Structure 1
Amino acid sequence: MRMLSKMKYWIGALILGALVFTACDDEEGEAPALTIEALTATGTSLETGEEVTVDLNAASSASDVPPDAVFEITFDREIDTETVSASNISISDGDNDVALTVTADGSVVTVTPNEELIQGTDYTVTVSTALLASDGGTVTNGSRTFETAGRLPVVAPQEDAQVAYWKLDGNASDEMGNYADGTEVEVEYQADRFGTIESAAYFDGDASIIEIADAGALMTETQDFTISFWLKPDTTNHFNDDGNQTGMFVFGLGAFYGIQYEIFGSYDGSKYAVSYVNDEGTQFAEDMFFPSNATDNTNGGWQGWDFARSLSVTEMKNTITQTWYHNVFTYNAAEKKGYLYFNGELMKSFDFNLWPDGDPKQTAAGVDYRGAEPEVFDDLALGFIHSRAGTLFDDAAFGNYENPNANHFKGWLDDFRIIHAAYSEDDVATLYEAERP
């Protein structure tokens, strides 16, 4: 009996020892969790152009991450390079994953987006549990959120009708891809109305011009028409041959044979000149003057001007010079009416229905381009009334491009859009609110 008891004792001890040994062996076999010690994003500041680094490893979500950022993730120990791939590390805006290039060196993983991130957008960077340490440890708390610097791209009202959009963010490319890159002469890219560097085109008032070739279709393939852009005229030291302040041709597509916009030399008003065609095929131009102290057909103005906001000279100068403002001209072919808006507010409108009886303009059908070489070419010119190839106004000091004291535009242009649709008052207000600083 005593021998049997001893045997039971030793057998029990052996079993217990085996269990303890197994348990200890399991604990030693589990690698500790892989920890993110640092996560940073390094790129170019939109405001200064200098390199900045943003910490994404803090408790709260990071902001102002440069869109061109490269991400560096530092772990507490060496990474198994076999598990480092874009399938195990992701950056997503919630709807779309960003294409990435991922590399590792020791305990550091570098994540490079293949394209710049979208400005003003929330993203999440995630490290999955499939990424392992060299000892097999898996990551814990592998998700961080951040917001990129800048502003979210604006979707214009009636986006399907937008046929051209020059953001002028460092180049003269049409974002829609419908027109070739513009030819640039003496144009600089400077800070825009948000303070973002190289995001607006600056024209020097002497020779600066951007020419977009074969642009006549902007007016021949539509009846309804809207043009929208931001500008900040610079009136300092801008004089003509007589030493007086000179006007500014902000842009032109064949001058009045297409469309042009100019600011008066006194800076107390501006005008559009636009070409139209009527139901009989007759083409004509019509000026839309908007001076200070403007009048309409209710207070002594022309019978076709059905609305005009009266701004004093001071109010007009404060609106259209030395400050950014939003400019929209839109023509509604069904109504036969044109409208001018500054900063989302109606400034003036005209109605071809109110022209004198028998006037061919009463049957206006829509906008049209009617330019012919050599006077004008069908190039959209930003910074002057028409492209350099045209001969129109060559014999006039104000209109000869080669004359540095001509009515060259001096100032900044940004977000230049052409829409083949008529904008309503709500459309204009929506775009203004979306694009305003």
Structure 2
Amino acid sequence: MKKHTYILLFASVITTQLFVSCNEESIDKVNAPIPYESIGGYENSDEIAKDHLLAKFSFDGNIQDSKNAITGGVGTDVTYETGVKGNAYKGSASSFIAYNTVSNAIINLKNISVSMWIKTETHTGGAQSLFMLPKKTDFWGNIFSLIEANDSNTSMFLKNHIQKDVTPSIPWSGQFIEHKDDNILKNMYGAWKHVVWTYNGTSSTYSIYIDGVKLDLPATISKRYASDPSTGGGPYGELSNSEVSKFIIGGYQQHLGAPWGNPDGWMLHYTGLMDEFRIYDTALADNEVTALYKLEKDNR
């Protein structure tokens, strides 16, 4: 009897241990983190065109470019607020960031995509500068984005500027691309908006996306020319910046001091919020912009 009792007791202990072990494995499986579902084939936003991402400013309590293409930053009256991902840059009537060093990768851009999240309100009295790649020998900079004054509705008059300085020079070397009138950007104030604009030097084509959606632009805006196409002007071609010096977020090159003069009264600092500012040396494809929007919105 004792022998049988020991056998039964041993079997009971083994069974209990197996049950506990299996139960713990089941609990571990239940509590295991669920992997994110990929978006557009990407797990996080930095995977998109990763070999073409030159600069990235996340503003998570600092003004650094995590790609180190734009360095030596000094902030003036810079503060932070909750953004789309972590913190965001919070602008004001006196805020801006001046960077002293710009890499050759930025200087020699031939194609470009600029991506950012903005949240702002309407303003009066001039144009607010989101960013600018300055030019030492010109009143205007090389590449930049401005928001013109608008106090009448929720639509945004946005201006983007591109540059092509070549020898021999072309008549339309510096070009403003304006979103106004029938092409004004609708419902842009009071909420976070994802803005991406691109220029493809191979096709001389400009595009803009709001919240991951490509806007339908007329050819008068999307197609860029080196001179008047009605008199035989050919395609604009690749970008070519010149006399690049420094970089600025939230202001104009005139806010940087010498060699520029004092800013005109209409040159305003950006007063809204900005998050996840990126520069690529390629024109992102439609699916890449959509994935970038969704992944950043998902905090990835």
Q: What residue is the counterpart of 1:382 in the other structure?
A: 249
Decide whether the 8 Å contact of 1:33 with 1:140 is kept in 2.
no
Note if 1:424 corresponds to 2:285. yes
Note if 1:153 corresponds to 2:36. no
Identity of aligned residues (%): 16
Q: What residue is the counterpart of 2:179 in the other structure?
A: 290
Change (3 A) 1:188 1:34: farther
| Pick aligned residue for 1:201 from 69, 89, 113 | 89
Q: What residue is the counterpart of 1:398 in the other structure?
A: 266
Decide whether the 8 Å contact of 1:216 with 1:369 is kept in 2.
no
Change (3 A) 1:202 1:212: same
Residues of 1 paired with 2:117 and 2:223: CA distance?
A: 26
Residues of 2 paired with 1:157 and 1:259: CA distance?
A: 23
Residues of 1 paired with 2:200 and 2:215: CA distance?
A: 15
| Pick aligned residue for 1:185 from 63, 68, 76 | 76
| Pick aligned residue for 1:412 from 264, 267, 273 | 273
| Pick aligned residue for 2:194 from 326, 331, 339 | 326
The Cα of 1:425 is off from its aligned counterpart by 3.5
Residues of 2 paired with 1:22 and 1:181: CA distance?
A: 77
Q: What residue is the counterpart of 1:355 in the other structure?
A: 227
Structure richer in helix, relative to its length? 2
Change (3 A) 1:27 1:422: closer
Residues of 2 paired with 1:270 and 1:436: CA distance?
A: 23
Residues of 2 paired with 1:188 and 1:363: CA distance?
A: 42
- Paired residue secondary structure (1:421): coil
Residues of 2 paired with 1:383 and 1:148: CA distance?
A: 37
| Pick aligned residue for 1:264 from 148, 164, 173 | 148
Decide whether the 8 Å contact of 1:218 with 1:418 is kept in 2.
no
Structure richer in strand, relative to its length? 1
The Cα of 1:337 is off from its aligned counterpart by 2.3
Residues of 1 paired with 2:201 and 2:263: CA distance?
A: 36
Change (3 A) 1:371 1:279: closer
Q: What residue is the counterpart of 1:273 in the other structure?
A: 161
Residues of 2 paired with 1:170 and 1:359: CA distance?
A: 52
Gaps of 5+ in 1: 1-15, 37-128, 130-137, 239-243, 295-309, 373-377, 400-406
Aligned pairs (5 A) from 1:86-97:
none
**Deviation string, structure 1 residues 93-130 (Cα, Å, up to 9, x no partner):** xxxxxxxxxxxxxxxxxxxxxxxxxxxxxxxxxxxx8x
Residues of 2 paired with 1:215 and 1:360: CA distance?
A: 36
- RMSD across aligned positions (CA): 3.9
Change (3 A) 1:279 1:333: farther
Larger RCO: 1 or 2 (CA < 8 Å, sep 6+): 2
Note if 1:435 corresponds to 2:296. yes
Residues of 1 paired with 2:74 and 2:208: CA distance?
A: 29
Residues of 1 paired with 2:129 and 2:277: CA distance?
A: 15
Change (3 A) 1:326 1:393: farther
The Cα of 1:333 is off from its aligned counterpart by 1.1
Decide whether the 8 Å contact of 1:278 with 1:365 is kept in 2.
no
Q: What residue is the counterpart of 1:345 in the other structure?
A: 214
Q: What residue is the counterpart of 2:133 in the other structure?
A: 253
Decide whether the 8 Å contact of 2:130 with 2:146 is kept in 1.
yes
Change (3 A) 1:379 1:147: farther
Gaps of 5+ in 2: none
Larger-Rg structure: 1
Note if 1:227 corresponds to 2:88. no
Change (3 A) 1:233 1:413: same
Note if 1:169 corresponds to 2:49. no
